Structure 1
């Protein structure tokens, strides 16, 4: 799709991958609105020419704030990027609150935004929904069971709505990042993709109307999974 002149909304767009997506969409000529929870980070984005919406997407009020913030605007690109991890431990009921927060942010909020913003997306000559999942949506790791479940759920939802919208003007893209250098992965060892490079692949995917953007090492994971799903699962479960 042609990005120049489009209005884009990037959730979680004041930090990490979302910030890089927002910057690169802006650099391609889009008008961009970002959402976030940190007043300081949103202020910094506003200083760079971005529209901003404050809201915690784990809450109904936060979702309402985002929908209200783009009301009456010709939204053409919705990037559901906001995501959080979970401190869930299988034998610790006290961590269920963290699990619920992760589910609301990573799965419930993108579903709500796709549903509630679809009418305005349909009203544009061309539009795109970009749901950012994870390589862990393909094969989970034991140490992030709730996070993996939310991303696998969003992957399934994305595939389903892509079929439902196949004859419409709304193109549905799934973006699957690998481990990326962000605040969420701080402290994790191993090779990490830069947020800039990950965002570049996602924005290129929007431009070329891809169905899936397998960023970085996820390309290899997808290839392995296509050959042997069981092997991919065995490798990733202890990752």
Structure 2
């Protein structure tokens, strides 16, 4: 896909990888950024003339339908939907500071929003002049879990199978469903976690390269090694990721 003169919706576009994707696409496209932080949205709007901002808390399922209706009221078509927003909570279920309410919020942001926006924006995606794309940002934790962040791991595994199934449902339409599997990236979400991290700028660039080439399952960086390791010696892959 030639990413020029496209209407692109991206969730979580005010920081981290999402912000870098906006940086790399805004000059030649119309970017609709969906995020919760109103202050950051205002900063984006002031900085880039081709960026349109919609404030929404994706942890609240009641926002999905009004959000989609607002987008489609202003834009007859959507060429690309990038489901990028995600949260990761580290406390174990056995920790005294574990918050029960976080379970539903994390699932909603990481998975329910992906399913809901993919469905609710289907009319606009089908209205694209040629082909359109749903790109779901995923993780190596979708196929090899770690000890912490169990809900995050489960939600990413769910996105993996959801994306595959949805691609079957849409194979005779103009819509393609892609995934990008990213390693540990240096973003606000991963602050204080892990050691060597990929830069958000490089991750965004790699994601967009896969989008342009329409790679169905794009393994980025160390994910290639992890997937091979998991296929050949799954015990070793699990041991390596368990405490990551």
Map 1:1-16 onto structure 2 (within 5 A): 1-16=1-16
Q: Note the alpha carbon deviations across 1:71-113, whole angstroms, 9 max, x for none.
A: 1411110000011112543235852211211001101110000
Whole-Å separation in 2 of the counterparts to 1:62 and 1:88: 27
Matched, 1:56 2:57: yes
TM-score (norm 2): 0.92
Whole-Å separation in 1 of the counterparts to 2:238 and 2:168: 26
Instruction: Give the stretch that moved more between structures: 81-90 or 139-148.
Output: 81-90
Q: Which runs of 5+ in 2 are unaligned?
A: none
Q: Note the alpha carbon deviations across 1:108-154, whole angstroms, 9 max, x for none.
A: 11000011111211121210000111111120101111111111111
Q: Note the alpha carbon deviations across 1:21-67, whole angstroms, 9 max, x for none.
A: 1222224x221110111111101110222100000001123323431
Matched, 1:77 2:80: yes
Q: Report if aligned partners of 1:55, 1:62 keep a CA contact under 8 Å in 2.
A: yes
TM-score (norm 1): 0.94
Question: How far did residue 233 of structure 1 move?
Answer: 2.0
Secondary structure class of the residue paired with 2:214: coil
Q: Which runs of 5+ in 1 are unaligned?
A: none
**1:115 alignment partner in structure 2:** 119
Q: Report if aligned partners of 2:90, 2:148 keep a CA contact under 8 Å in 1.
A: no
Deviant stretches of 4+, over 6 Å:
none
Matched, 1:152 2:152: no
**2:105 alignment partner in structure 1:** 101
Whole-Å separation in 2 of the counterparts to 1:55 and 1:65: 10
CA distance change for structure 1 residues 102 and 226 in 2, over 3 Å: closer, same or farther?
same
Equivalences, count: 238
Whole-Å separation in 2 of the counterparts to 1:56 and 1:135: 26
